[in-house]
Chains A and B, each alone.
Chain A
Amino acid sequence: MLVVVTATINPLFLTPQGVKDLLLNATIVVILAIGQALVIITRNVDLSVGSILGLVAFGTGTLFAVYPGIPIILVFVIGMAFGAVLGAVNGLLVTIAKVPALVITLGTLYIYRGVNNAWAGGTQYFAGDRPRAFSSLSTDTIFGFPLITLLAIAVVVGVAIVLAYTRAGRDLYAIGSDPAAARLFGIPVTRRVLGAFVASGVLAGLAAVLYASRFNAVGATTGTGLELDVVAAAVVGGVAIFGGSGTVVGAAIGALLLTTITSALTALRVDKFWQQAIVGVLIIAAISVDRLVSLNRARKLRVSEARNV
């Protein structure tokens, strides 16, 4: 509906270029939001994704600068492995130290950013430093869909299947609903939560490599502040912030919705400051709906249980 209204007022919004931009803008946030959804479902949160993205993106730039002939696929593997390591640090701290993820990842947000600052200094790598084949990943299309968007869709489908149909995936929901009960039930809580953080790290690593493909510069401040967009996308997409419910498809749609709204409001020439306010209203609306639905469900459950007695 939003898209239709915008397209009517500003036809440029739905030109091939407009659609391509829309999808490309969403791609990176979609991938990050999937990882975030996995973590939030276990009743945790990963605030360090923006910093992980920054570090890995700078690492990607460095790789191409130091080994100009490096195979692109290898860069993806290294980027995701690097992300996995950073995610594992989060996961280990959360599960072993048993400190709330909010605090741990807030800490690693600053630590990773600090490392990035120290490593990068004033160095930035530009699109020109990277092979053309790598940059064109984010501009080439198949049937009008950018390559990296197709990649993001594949990731969504893959993770959604794991989450819905595998033991490990269902365990994440059980942990998020009631960690203590999950533990009593024999679910390997530590391993699963660690797995969720590693997955979030891997996806942030993937997003970072794509970021380096799409944008011009990667440096010390790359990805700053991105974590809030990602959490917002997951929440707007119906992932309950206290865990236990939500889907990655929802999170991906949330990310698409938020980026579409921002693009639409820009195309309609709405003031930047109002755009932020509108995003805020959306987040609160999403949480309110979530709350209403769960209250309603609890009431119905009570009623039905009362009848059964």
Chain B
Amino acid sequence: MKGRTMKLIHTRAHRDTASGRRIAAFAAIATTVALVATGCAAATPGDSGGSDGDGATEALSIAFLPKQLNNPYTDVVLSGGKAGTEEIGGEYSVVGPLEASASSQVSFINTLTQQGTKVIVIAANDPDAVGPALEEARAAGAKIVAFDSDTNPDYRDVFISQVVSKDVALIQVEQIAEQIGGSGEIAILSATANATNQNEWIKFIEEELASNPEYADITLVAKVYGDDDDAKSFQEAQGLLSAYPNLKGIISPTTVGIAATARYLSTTDFKGKVALVGLGLPNEMREFVKDGTVKEFALWDPAQLGYVAAFAGQALVDGTITGAVGDTFMAGELGEKEVGEGGIVIVGPPTRFNADNIDDYDF
């Protein structure tokens, strides 16, 4: 192979001297351009990355990496992220996998690292799978803001939590207890079996059911996982009702799960007899609240999550906060936010949605 190439070059060398020279010249120009380009690229992080804040002219690049693209809830969160980034004057981008699987986010983090992104805002599909990639990103100078679903705290600077996890769990227990009259069998229909936020809420729900004497007559009989897939959640809901004849209520702390379960219930004899609570989007749940399938559910305004995440990213880059407890920063129109225990920033309390107020919300 090598011999043949050599021979080819040898026989052509004579004829192609002129064009060879042209190629060499072109190569030199290309190299120069490349050098200049890399020079620019290399200079950028140095300028704006300095905590002195003298690089304010360079747009701050904030990349959002949600659990999965094309997810309606994510879109609402991202709309807030976009608004926040624009208010800061930063450069907004979104990348992410189409399927919410544990390892799918790693390659996106690597790409962002190579591009020299200043702030990576991530909702982790798995708290540890993204760890090594995030560490590399930090080594390259990026600030990591987790939102929606936390990574292992070792791998990020701050975590923007919409609400206190425990409050989210408690409001759901409270709602189900109200709706089933304080006693009976209930089940949980979650997203994926290893989603950080889901599991934390479920843990608090279980603890509350076990420790609060008010809920002594409520039994949690099953936990099933619909993987945030409409059809799968639908079938899991159906499975729950066929496996547990005495089931009185379902808690679904995921927007996809609660909507799919509501759809199933609304088409069956269980409508109005089996209670359904959880975290839902008002626009998806409106029909089911109006037709009596669902009495009341909870959520927050997801857009605020992305909004605060953008401001937290900026505060980290310009050195206003480091992620230490007690650090404070201004989050635009939402005012001052404080970094709490474990580097967690809380946005606000959950809201209850029912027939009386659901028409006031549009997301």
Chain A residues with CB under 8 Å of chain B are 10-13, 16-18, 20-21, 25, 117, 120-122, 124, 126-128, 135, 138-139, 211, 214-217, 219-224, 262-263, 266-269, 272
Contacts and interface: CB of A to CB of B under 8 A. Distances in A.
A221 B269 contact: no
Nearest to A217: B230
Contact of B243 (A10, A127, A214, A220): A10
Given A216-B260, A263-B239, A266-B239, A117 B70 contact: yes
A16 B262 CA distance: 20
B287 A126 contact: yes
Nearest to B224: A272
Contact of B229 (A126, A221, A267): A221
B275 interface: no
Contact of B242 (A10, A214, A221): A10
Interface stretch (B36-44, B71-79, B150-158, B342-350): B71-79
B231 interface: yes
* Dominant secondary structure of chain A at its interface with chain B: helix
Given A139-B267, A215-B234, A127 B287 contact: yes
B238 A128 contact: no
A13 B256 contact: no
B69 interface: yes
22 contacts: A10-B242, A10-B243, A10-B245, A11-B245, A20-B268, A21-B242, A25-B235, A122-B69, A122-B71, A122-B72, A135-B267, A139-B267, A214-B267, A216-B234, A217-B259, A217-B260, A219-B70, A220-B70, A222-B231, A266-B242, A267-B242, A272-B224
A128 B286 contact: yes
Interface string B57-83: 000000000000111101100000000
Interface in B212-256: 222, 224-225, 229-231, 234-235, 238-239, 241-243, 245, 256
A267 B243 contact: yes
A224 B97 CA distance: 14
Nearest to B70: A220
Nearest to A12: B245
A224 B242 CA distance: 25
A128 B287 contact: yes
Contact of A122 (B75, B266, B287): B75
Interface residues of B, number: 35
B243 A269 contact: yes
Nearest to A269: B243
Nearest to A28: B231
Nearest to A129: B287
B208 interface: no
Contact of A216 (B222, B241, B262): B262
B231 A215 contact: yes
Nearest to B232: A225
A220 B269 CA distance: 30
Contacts of A214: 267
Contacts of A16: 269
Nearest to B230: A217
Contacts of A221: 70, 98-99, 229
B128 interface: no
Contacts of A223: 231
B238 A122 contact: no
Contacts of A263: 238-239, 242
B284 interface: yes
Contacts of B242: 10, 12-13, 18, 21, 263, 266-267
Interface string B299-331: 000000000000000000000000000000000
B295 interface: no
A223 to B, nearest CB: 8
B270 interface: yes
A126 B280 CA distance: 13
Nearest to A118: B70
A216 B235 CA distance: 12
A103 to B, nearest CB: 22
Contacts of B287: 126-128
Contacts of B267: 135, 138-139, 214
Contacts of B263: 127, 215-217
Contacts of A269: 222, 243
A122 B99 CA distance: 13
B259 to A, nearest CB: 5
Contacts of B71: 122
Given A18-B242, A268-B243, A220 B230 contact: no
Given A17-B269, A216-B234, A124 B239 contact: no
Contacts of B241: 12
Given A121-B70, A217-B263, A266-B242, 16 more contacts: A10-B243, A10-B245, A13-B242, A16-B269, A21-B242, A117-B70, A117-B98, A122-B74, A215-B234, A217-B284, A219-B230, A220-B98, A221-B99, A221-B229, A224-B229, A269-B243
A199 to B, nearest CB: 24
Contacts of B239: 263, 266-267
Contact of B284 (A10, A126, A266): A126
A124 B284 CA distance: 10
Contacts of A219: 70, 72, 230
A211 B231 CA distance: 9
Contacts of A10: 242-243, 245
Contact of B70 (A122, A215, A262): A122
A235 B358 CA distance: 48
